[in-house]
Amino acid sequence: MKRRNFLLGAGAAVIGGGLLARPGDHGAPYDAYFSALNQELKKNGPMRPCLVIDLDRMDRNLDLVTATLKGAGKNYRIVEKSLPSPKLIDYISKRSGSRRLMSFHQPFLNDDAVLFPDADLLLGKPLPVRSAELFYKNHKGPFDPSRQLQWLNDTPERVQEYLELARGLGTRLRINIELDVGLHRGGVSNNAMLGQMLDLIAANPQQLEFAGFMGYDAHVGFGVPPILGTPQELLAKAMGEYQGYVDFVRSQYPRLWRDDLTLNAGGSPSYPLHDQEKTSSEISTGTALLKPTHYDIATLTKHVPAVFIATPVIKAVGPIEIPALDGKSRIVSWWDVNQRDLYYIYGGFWRAEYESPKGLQFNPILGVSANQENVSGSPATGLKVNDQVFMRPEIVEGVLLQFGDLVAMRGGKIVDYWPPLSA
């Protein structure tokens, strides 16, 4: 199609098909909160893409978690993969009084053992036995794995592998057993399977010790179609299954039972509902402290977003111009006021949603870039070069490792820089 015909066609489609749908103005300037953050980052910030942790907001979320769990008589376990910075973890540990950490990555596990020598560490996923071996090879310092570390095992085969590792190392490994309580992400799903694992543990007391259960229940808070169950019903079902496994150990393996076993459950989506059950002894939560967008869910309505990607505007180029269409592409910015001002930001291509100023959007016609991404908005945003664009990440695990030192802020001011763990 010739360019003129293309433009005429595009214009006709826009006008003919869209008179009813012409976009309204979604733009609005920073509110007072983001205006203060913008001023501070422009004056004292790194002026490159960074992750801002708002400590006032995180405190509020953390205090909700600790108050709920305290009221329920349960311990709190900090999820390291969602908060992977030693200073961040230390801060949360001190404020919550928890020394319990859930780890998911062998290099981080080694770091945890050195940085938090009095921690109680539980793996959140079963690591290949070779990873476990590497942990022991690299381990140094006073942290005592035979007392302070629980490996997660999901199958009889893995218990057998860990048994052989323990024999080779001449040490005793504490084994926590993963339960499938409805998420169906693996783990024990019947008593016969559990019995095989406990038989192996019971038969090898010099090498293996039963340390408890882990039953993660994200499906409870993330929800399923309502016809299949409310979060409360799903939690009751999950914890009914959990209790069944507890009863099985108590009745069939009384010598393995101890009242201080770790009976871990939860996850951010379900933690507020766990005050309804008496089976678990502790709840793991990490992401709820920061509340990225995927956690805008019914169970976390009291939580507030406490993490933002902030990045400076590098260029303000005016109305959008599509390469090769050049000035003729003005029809786009004429049609859609939200595309009237085009900007390029420092970095991009993140899994995140624009937060402030309001009404910013990405234009796929101009292509993606992790170096300088396009973003457009209406004049109502008031955005200028060197201002910050604020985004909310979709999730935090992995994301907190991508931006260098986390920028800790309080009362709208930068108070510290917290390096992330490095893999």
Ligand X SMILES: Cc1ncc(COP(=O)(O)O)c(C=O)c1O
Footprint of ligand X on this chain (CB under 6 A)? 79, 82, 102, 124, 214, 216, 267-268, 284-288
Contact by Cβ (8 Å): 288, 68: no
79 or 246: CB nearest ligand X: 79
177 or 288: CB nearest ligand X: 288
Contact by Cβ (8 Å): 88, 95: no
Q: How far is the CB of 57 from ligand X (least distance, A)?
A: 16
Q: How far is the CB of 268 from ligand X (least distance, A)?
A: 3
45 or 269: CB nearest ligand X: 269
Written as one letter, the residue type at 376 is S
216 or 344: CB nearest ligand X: 216
Q: How far is the CB of 14 from ligand X (least distance, A)?
A: 43
Tokens at residue 372, please? 């300088």
Q: CA angle 362-363-369, nearest 5°?
A: 75
Residues 6 or more apart from 378 whose CB is under 8 A from it?
25, 26, 27, 337, 338, 340, 341, 359
Residues 6 or more apart from 215 whose CB is under 8 A from it?
178, 179, 180, 181, 187, 238, 241, 242, 264, 265, 280
β-pair partners for 102:
79, 122
Q: Could you tell me whether strands 120-123 and 341-346 are parallel, antiparallel, or unpaired per DSSP bridges? A: unpaired
Q: How far is the CB of 405 from ligand X (least distance, A)?
A: 21
92 or 337: CB nearest ligand X: 92
- Using Cβ positions, the residue closest to ligand X within the complex turns out to be 286
246 or 389: CB nearest ligand X: 246
265 or 408: CB nearest ligand X: 265
Q: How far is the CB of 286 from ligand X (least distance, A)?
A: 3
Residue ranges in 123-230 assigned as alpha helix (H): 129-138, 145-148, 156-169, 191-203, 218-222
Q: How far is the CB of 155 from ligand X (least distance, A)?
A: 16
Q: CA angle 309-378-306, nearest 5°?
A: 20
User: How remote is the C-alpha of 163 from its chain's centroid?
Assistant: 32
**Distances from the Cα of 247 to the Cαs of 175, 190, 199, 240, 360, in angstroms?**
18, 13, 16, 10, 54
Q: How far is the CB of 363 from ligand X (least distance, A)?
A: 32
